[in-house]
Each structure stands twice: as C-alpha cells, then as structure tokens.
Amino acid sequence: MCSGPTEQSTNCGNGDCAVIGIWSSWTSWMPCPVTCGMSLVKRSRVCKELFPGNGVADCVGSNQEERSCGFPVDYCKYLPQPPDSIMTGRWI
C-alpha cells in the first residue's frame, strides 16, 4: 500500500521543468571523401521541442553518428579509374 498523491504537477513557466524534445529525421550520410582507402562519414539530427515555445529541448541520445567508408588500399589496383583520379584515405 502506497501513501500520497498519485500525480505531482508544477507550473513550468518558471524554468524548473525539462522541455520534452523529439529528434528530427537523420540527415543523409555525407559522401565518402576518398575513392581508395578508409575514411569516416557522418550524419546528424536535431533535437526539436515537442511543444514549441518552452525553451531548449532535451532529447535522449546523440545528435551525430559516424561510420567508416571505403575499402582497404590494397584493393585500389582493382579500381576502373586512372590512378591520378584516386583520392587515398587512411586506415581507421
């Protein structure tokens, strides 16, 4: 058996309340900056207020993701492009 009220509320006009946020959709992954070797690409999203006008939104999670792109330098010799058009990346 529990005692006390089942709900608690307060006026959020005083800045004491967290502003509920919701993430936007992820942006597209940026293009891989290399044509040979390994690199990183990123994408991002924005935390938006679920109920606009209440302040800075609070979302759970990260606003950025990273992943690797490309392939090992050893495979560059199999590319159909001329060698001077290949942009070499680094190992990650």
Span 25-81, pLDDT tens digits: 999 999 988 878 888 999 999 988 877 766 677 888 999 999 998 888 887 777 776
Structural domain includes residue 13: no
pLDDT band (50, 70, 90) for residue 91: very low
Q: Which domain holds residue 29?
A: 18-85
Are the beta carbons of 21 and 47 closer than 8 angstroms? yes
Q: What 3-state class would DSSP assign to 45?
A: coil
Structural domain includes residue 90: no
What CATH number does residue 67 fall under?
2.20.100.10
Are the beta carbons of 64 and 30 closer than 8 angstroms? no
Structural domain includes residue 10: no
Structural domain includes residue 91: no
Where is mean pLDDT largest: 12-21, 42-51, 81-90? 42-51
Number of domains, the chain: 1
51: nearest Cα among 24, 21, 17: 21
Task: Report the C-alpha gap between 36 and 71 in whole angstroms.
Answer: 7
Q: What is the pTM of this model?
A: 0.58
Task: Report the C-alpha gap between 45 and 20 in whole angstroms.
Answer: 16
pLDDT at 12: 61
Structural domain includes residue 7: no
